[in-house]
Structure 1
Amino acid sequence: MGYLRKESRVSSRKLATADRPPSRASAAAPTSADFGGILGRLGATMAGRAGWVFGVWLIALVALGAAAPSVFSSLAGAGWQANGSESVQVRELAQEHFGGNSSASVQVVVHSDTEQVTDPAVARVLDEATAVFAADPRFGEVIAPQPGMTISPDGHTGILIAGANASTDDMVKAVDDVKGELTALSGDGVEVYPTGASALWSDFNKANHDAMIKAEMVSWPVTMAIMVLAFGSLVAAGLPLLLTLAGLVASAGGLVLLNTVTPISVWAMNFAMMFALALGIDYALFLVSRFRDALGKTGDPRLAVAETMDTAGKAVVLSGVTVLVSLSAVLLVPAPAVRTMAVGIMLAVAFVLAATLTLLPAALGKLGPKVNAGSLPFAKRQQHRSPRFAAWGTLLHKHPWPFAIGAVVVLVGLSIPVFGLKVAMPSIQVVPTNAPVRQGYELVQAQMGEGAPGMLQIIAPTSEADATAAAAAATEGIAMVTPPMPAIDGSDYVMLQAMPNVDPSDDSMGSIVDRLRADLPEQARVGGAPAENLDLQQALNDYLPIIVAVILALGFLLLLIALQAPLIAILGTVVSLLSTAAAFGVAKLIFQDGHGASLLGFTPQGFLDGWGPVFFFAMIFAIAMDYTVFLLSTVKEQYERTGDAAAAQVEGMGHSGRVIFAAAAVMVGVFFSFALADPLPPKEMGVILGVAVLLDAILVRLVLLPALLRLTGHAAWWSPAWLRRILPKISFSHG
């Protein structure tokens, strides 16, 4: 390795001293100085008081675990709205003055091929459905099917409307409770389908929950197999899974308790399950690998834990903080469901991070050499430093330009499709074809027109009722407007229903709503489920640039503080952005254009779900920074020990390459297991995040970033004196 000849004799002596195992005396009687910094001392304390740590965690898991089983039934099912928007104002007015006949109301589609709505058989079913709603205080005014409004032209289909007398979240739970009773009314040639926005979220949340459980059942054995291959030891491989399980149980219970204070979307747990599993295993993999190496040098489990936490532990803390900071930017979006999804993941990451910094060191200290129990034959002489990845680092050192250019070309090429990316809120296609809400939706379309399932609601002052009706009827894209209906509480409002002439998820729906709002009198307001989706999408679009800027700025700042070097902090942030853009480019090709749709088993909507760019950007960037931290912290540690940039780059690859590769394999396995889901959003989530990890780990962390370290040399780690004075002193080397 020719680059080592450039090292000074002092650096060589430092390296030799650092690699030399401690004396028997020091190992026998370690002092606080032997434990290193704060994290090293924390690790030594956890290892020395393992019984107490296990006891505290057991109590916490029993307490939180008691609430965990109810997590999916307790959490909120709605919240997909832009707080303060015009459509939300309309829904609130409808709830207050029109018996709950808002976008949250429940529409029950009743159809018969042989009987008409006014015939006794159908009328009896309508009466029974009305009785179901009357028995539940969460439902408000019940409006029977009205000719010319909610009865089809042929008279065979009618829509019974049950007003919402509770919050949108409670209305989803109300539908959960009564939809079985309603669908059971079908029979004797009469079909009954609960539909509407609340029913949509009820059916979709159930399908999504079932898909998540199925994916988790697949991902756990796959993860275990990868861990066994990575560690070569059954005990070492089992530790990360136990750690992650503890974090998941704690976070599930924590979400249930938090939901009693403020509604938390059920999607929060879905995302938290996936993200906590992937990150928890990442963190444990990094620490367990480093512990096994340190134990081989010291022979003392407590000293080995201290060294592990003093080095790899810092990288884990920095990674966890980066993930939390990235996701916190999503809290800027004024949408409850989006915010609480971020809160759910943040809570899960916080619990996993707490377990990594306390429970795992205690377990490692207690196990000591037994961490290698159950070793497979190939792992008997496995070392922390991988000769293969060190050789790969040497190759990148010798030929940096071809690899750097090749990686950039591929990533830029995959990023180009991003410029044609379209986003919209999910259509009815995200719900399984056999779901009652979809069957009712399609039946209404067939009987009453394309836009009938997406009726727009208009609320205006009584004095402007006629002008509002005339303006709405004259608006391009509106097929029909119902007569103004006075408020049932006598207030000075009227409501009109406007039926668009296109499907609610059609591209032109946004233009229709914009024209309608522009044409109506000033005090008239337009809402309804399609308008709520469009207003939410607009809010997501408006906040995306802000969130991207905040995440990039905070990510750079964290890297700058941790690495104490502006150039490598900039490079680390830029390459993470590049891999994120490439992942979205692939997402556009798959989910918008439909490439590979038949293989993945879905019908493309022609767009990416609207919350994807905001939420996935935060998640992908957090994962990308996770690997950036793992690689650069290891390289920085080597640089601090040797003072030689070339040696640090190669040795950094040797010490972190296998861990990054194994961690990426685990994440890809976890994320791609969600590609098996039938509902489209979890499939999008799994594929996009899996592709992001694949691109980031292989092209960026194992190719581009090491090549850039070679090209920048000592400049990568240079820092001006004034900056060193104001930054906190952080070192990744032990001692």
Structure 2
Amino acid sequence: MTNLLAHLGALVIRRTRLVLLLSVAVLLGAAVLGAGAFGKLQANNAFEDPAADSTTAQHLLDQHFDGADTVVLLVHARSGTVDGPDIRAVGDAAAHRLSHTPGVSDVVSYWAGHDPALRSTDGRYALVVGTERSTDAVGAKALAALASTNDAATVTVGGDAEVNHDITEQVGKSLLVAEAIAVPIILVLLVIAFGSLVAALLPLAIGAIAIAGTFAELSLLGSVTPVAVYAINLTTALGLSLAIDYALLMVSRYREELSGGADPERAVIRAVTTAGRTIVFSGITVAAALAVLLIFPLYFLRSFAYAGIGVVLISVGAALVTLPALLVALGPRVNAGRLPWARRRMPATAAPFWGRVADLAMRRPALTALPVVILLLFVAAPVLHVSFGTPNDRVLRPDTSSRSVGDVLRADFKADLADGVDVVTDRPLPGSAIQPYAARLSALPGVARVQTSVGVYAGGLRVSSAADPRLASESGQQRLEVIPSVDPRSGAAQQLVRELRSGPGPQGAAIHVGGQTAQLIDSKHAIGSRIPLAALLIVLTTFVVLFLFTGSVLQPLRSLLLNLLTLSSTGGLLVSIFQDGHLSGLLDFTPLPLDTSMLMLLFCIAFGLSMDYEVIVLSRIKELHDQGLDNRTAVVEGLTRSGRIVTTAAALVAVSFLTFGTSTVSFLQLFGIGAGVAVLIDATLVRAVLVPACQRLLGRAAWYAPPVLRRLHDRLGVVGDLADDPSPEGDSAPALSKIG
């Protein structure tokens, strides 16, 4: 690999102008193609397992019953109750607007039949409810037109349709706010980190190519398979993060070679062969971590795999080809626009502070590592009582339309119609066939009542003979609405769904169970059942990549254990904050069970970035170790030379993620704070303290491999041979220093 990268560097030098022209052409072409991605990416059903029972139920409801997603209009009487004639006029007008909204059907109103379930216990609220197909969502403008207010009453829009709209809208606004905060801070930090204005622009060039190229990839994929619109956010955040990492590595090594007396062209070749190798292995490890998301059936997670793999590979390509060409074109002018305190000769990356920390950890491994491990385990402890959920209206702020409706439904109505459990038969049945079945379901614990096409049941008895014809399809399929008396996210509600699924259907017919609670169970199963495979794949790929990189079987194991410690402490912190509610007042969110999909995404990204920093640090340590330095000196000097890169990159990445904490959507806050904290923990406590302490405890065994694996590594892995760096003219130059 070393010689291959050296030849690549020489080729870039010989064809600098062509490389830069092609890079500009690729950037412009990708930008044009990528602009179409925004119209192809989706948000509906992103968190559903296509093979789940709840998804089958949803398809049956879309096919035979005009959908199951609700549009809820909450009518609030400003004075008195909703039974007055002026409030009735408001309610009738709201029902008329809803029934004439394209995509909405089966509209029911409290004033049409005075169903007590549609009236709040105190009489101040009443409901108008319609349904929509999951594949035919009502537009934002149509939903907004349903709201109204006058002196008598206000009409507020809620239900599944408005929740989906509000979440999508608030996520978009939150990301704009986060970027408005993060970008200026990152730009300032880039100038400080690189010490010059010109060098600070290089990561932006790499990031632009990576982001535009990934948008183009998503545009193509969006034409043939569902891709979640949320993947755009990962593309921008990860693209900029990796561009910063790789530019710091390449530019720092380039400057280091210049300061050592190399001419610009030779400095570029050396930077490509050394920093470039680190970039290649970093890219492989990050891409492998994100590729694991492909095994999950939720296209929300698969979309992040598409975006993540694309942005990593394009970032690596741009860092190995475009960035060296820019360095060749700039030459010593890469240091132009130096800051006042950086006008002295600029070496590469030496950071004596991190060397001193590493030296202390090497001299007193137990004394330095044990407190850090205890601290991280203490922070991780709340993971033991973690609970999981899926997004609903409570991820939004209370003043959001759909959230305000949801709060009223939970507080003032005996049962929340919007959170009902749908039971659908797989074949046509007469109404008489479902009567005993509905009576049995209504007697189950946690059931308030069961609504059917032949009446309403509660407590095992038929309490109303009022038929609801919309619950029987034209082809004869039957739909039963099981209205729970418990919180739909609670363990009791989940047990209710399990009982519904395990029990026999009416007259031997198979039944499918849908609704929010059923989707939660299915989502947890879709992710949880594949976590062992995901963990196995991550362990295997990490072991193989790090073994090929280091030639050691203990370095991959050490890395995996430390990454597990980072992820556990991050998970514990998230449970403490977002589930238990600490800092909920400061961050203004409602404590909820953690979103399973977002948590899985967070851990994969955090693991990938952690491996990125692992490779950066190990690369320098191994290089020095292969040059003949003893273990302690190699570690201390390696941290001295790489510590500044890792901590600077982590600080810049953390800024981009932590600004998500300003979001008005709690699962976005969870993701941003979790990713930012994980990066900071890994780059400081783990890389600076635990890595050198572990290296000291392992001693010479840190680089151990059985003879058979050692021979395999000598054939396939990265070996510390002498690299013949090709000159720009294509001839072999004298061998340079040994490369690890």
**TM-score range normalised by the length of the shorter chain:** 0.7 to 0.9
Alignment coverage as a number of residue pairs: 687
* Aligned-pair CA distance for 1:68: 4.4
- Write the deviation string for residues 197-240 of structure 1: whole angstroms up to 9, x where unpaired: 23212110110111111111211122122222222112112211
Q: Tell whether 2:352 aligns with 1:387.
A: yes
Contact 2:70 2:418 (C-alpha < 8 Å) held by counterparts: no
SS in 1 for 2:705: coil
Distance 2:93 2:583 in 1: 48
SS in 1 for 2:478: strand
Q: How does 1:446-485 map to 2 (within 5 A)?
A: 446=411, 448-460=413-425, 461=427, 462=429, 464-484=433-453, 485=469
Q: Tell whether 2:597 aligns with 1:628.
A: no
* Aligned-pair CA distance for 1:65: 1.7
Distance 1:652 1:701 in 2: 11
Distance 1:697 1:577 in 2: 14
* Aligned-pair CA distance for 1:298: 4.7
Q: How does 1:4-403 map to 2 (within 5 A)?
A: 37-68=3-34, 71-72=37-38, 74-78=40-44, 79-100=46-67, 102=68, 104-110=69-75, 112=77, 119-133=88-102, 139=103, 141-145=105-109, 147=113, 148=115, 151-152=118-119, 157-164=126-133, 167=135, 171=137, 174-183=138-147, 185-187=148-150, 189-379=152-342, 380-384=344-348, 385-403=350-368
One-letter amino acid of the counterpart of residue 162, structure 2: A
Distance 2:574 2:626 in 1: 40
- Write the deviation string for residues 555-581 of structure 1: whole angstroms up to 9, x where unpaired: 122111211111112112211111111
Contact 2:70 2:129 (C-alpha < 8 Å) held by counterparts: no
* Aligned-pair CA distance for 1:307: 1.1
Question: 535-544 or 480-489, which moves further after superposition?
Answer: 480-489
Contact 1:287 1:312 (C-alpha < 8 Å) held by counterparts: yes
User: Structure 2 length normalisation: TM-score?
Assistant: 0.87
Where does residue 525 of structure 1 map in the other structure?
A: 512
Distance 1:733 1:271, change over 3 A: farther
Distance 2:149 2:14 in 1: 66
* Aligned-pair CA distance for 1:623: 1.4
Query: 1:538 aligned to 514, 520, 525, which one?
Result: 525
Distance 1:92 1:302, change over 3 A: same
* Aligned-pair CA distance for 1:532: 1.4
Distance 1:603 1:128, change over 3 A: closer
Distance 1:242 1:331, change over 3 A: same
SS in 2 for 1:476: coil
Query: 1:554 aligned to 537, 541, 552, which one?
Result: 541
Question: 723-732 or 145-154, which moves further after superposition?
Answer: 145-154
SS in 2 for 1:194: strand
Distance 1:630 1:390, change over 3 A: same
One-letter amino acid of the counterpart of residue 533, structure 2: I
Distance 2:357 2:132 in 1: 65
* Aligned-pair CA distance for 1:241: 2.5
Distance 1:301 1:733, change over 3 A: farther
* Aligned-pair CA distance for 1:627: 1.0
Where does residue 730 of structure 1 map in the other structure?
A: 718
Distance 1:149 1:551, change over 3 A: farther
Distance 1:567 1:446, change over 3 A: closer
Contact 1:426 1:609 (C-alpha < 8 Å) held by counterparts: yes
- Write the deviation string for residues 229-280 of structure 1: whole angstroms up to 9, x where unpaired: 2221121122112321332233234323321221211111122222222222
Distance 1:283 1:151 in 2: 59
Instruction: List alignment gaps of at least 5 residues for structure 1.
Output: 1-34, 134-138
Distance 2:315 2:92 in 1: 56
Amino-acid identity (%):
29
Distance 1:344 1:190, change over 3 A: farther
What is the CA RMSD across the aligned residues, in angstroms? 2.6
Query: 1:650 aligned to 620, 625, 636, which one?
Result: 636
SS in 1 for 2:146: helix
Distance 1:641 1:216 in 2: 44
- Write the deviation string for residues 669-688 of structure 1: whole angstroms up to 9, x where unpaired: 22211112121111111111
- Write the deviation string for residues 344-394 of structure 1: whole angstroms up to 9, x where unpaired: 222222322222222211111111111111112332234223333333333
Question: 676-685 or 449-458, which moves further after superposition?
Answer: 449-458
Question: 43-52 or 89-98, which moves further after superposition?
Answer: 43-52
* Aligned-pair CA distance for 1:733: 7.1
Distance 1:539 1:351 in 2: 30
Distance 2:357 2:412 in 1: 65
Q: Tell whether 2:665 aligns with 1:698.
A: no
One-letter amino acid of the counterpart of residue 515, structure 1: E
- Write the deviation string for residues 310-358 of structure 1: whole angstroms up to 9, x where unpaired: 1111111111111111111122112121221332222222322222222
Q: How does 1:401-416 map to 2 (within 5 A)?
A: 401-416=366-381
* Aligned-pair CA distance for 1:71: 4.8
Question: 406-415 or 325-334, which moves further after superposition?
Answer: 406-415
Q: Tell whether 2:707 aligns with 1:715.
A: no
Distance 1:149 1:268, change over 3 A: farther
Contact 2:259 2:346 (C-alpha < 8 Å) held by counterparts: no
Question: 302-311 or 610-619, which moves further after superposition?
Answer: 610-619
SS in 2 for 1:266: coil
Where does residue 460 of structure 2 map in the other structure?
A: none
- Write the deviation string for residues 473-500 of structure 1: whole angstroms up to 9, x where unpaired: 1111010111235776532410111111
Distance 2:301 2:160 in 1: 17
One-letter amino acid of the counterpart of residue 64, structure 1: A
Contact 2:577 2:583 (C-alpha < 8 Å) held by counterparts: yes
Contact 1:311 1:732 (C-alpha < 8 Å) held by counterparts: no
Distance 1:636 1:155, change over 3 A: closer
Distance 2:382 2:6 in 1: 46
* Aligned-pair CA distance for 1:73: 5.3
Q: How does 1:471-620 map to 2 (within 5 A)?
A: 471-484=440-453, 485=469, 490-521=474-505, 523-605=510-592, 607-620=593-606
Distance 2:412 2:573 in 1: 39
Contact 1:453 1:504 (C-alpha < 8 Å) held by counterparts: no
SS in 2 for 1:499: strand
One-letter amino acid of the counterpart of residue 305, structure 2: A
Distance 1:734 1:653 in 2: 23
Q: Tell whether 2:650 aligns with 1:684.
A: no
Contact 1:65 1:253 (C-alpha < 8 Å) held by counterparts: yes
* Aligned-pair CA distance for 1:52: 2.1
Distance 1:120 1:586 in 2: 51
One-letter amino acid of the counterpart of residue 501, structure 2: R
* Aligned-pair CA distance for 1:44: 2.8
Instruction: List alignment gaps of at least 5 residues for structure 2.
Output: 454-468, 724-740
Where does residue 462 of structure 2 map in the other structure?
A: none
Question: 393-402 or 323-332, which moves further after superposition?
Answer: 393-402
One-letter amino acid of the counterpart of residue 644, structure 1: D
* Aligned-pair CA distance for 1:187: 4.5
SS in 1 for 2:591: coil
Distance 1:298 1:734 in 2: 20
Where does residue 419 of structure 1 map in the other structure?
A: 384
* Aligned-pair CA distance for 1:507: 4.0
Distance 1:294 1:580, change over 3 A: same
Contact 2:293 2:301 (C-alpha < 8 Å) held by counterparts: yes
Distance 1:357 1:187 in 2: 64
Contact 2:214 2:310 (C-alpha < 8 Å) held by counterparts: yes
Distance 1:187 1:256 in 2: 45
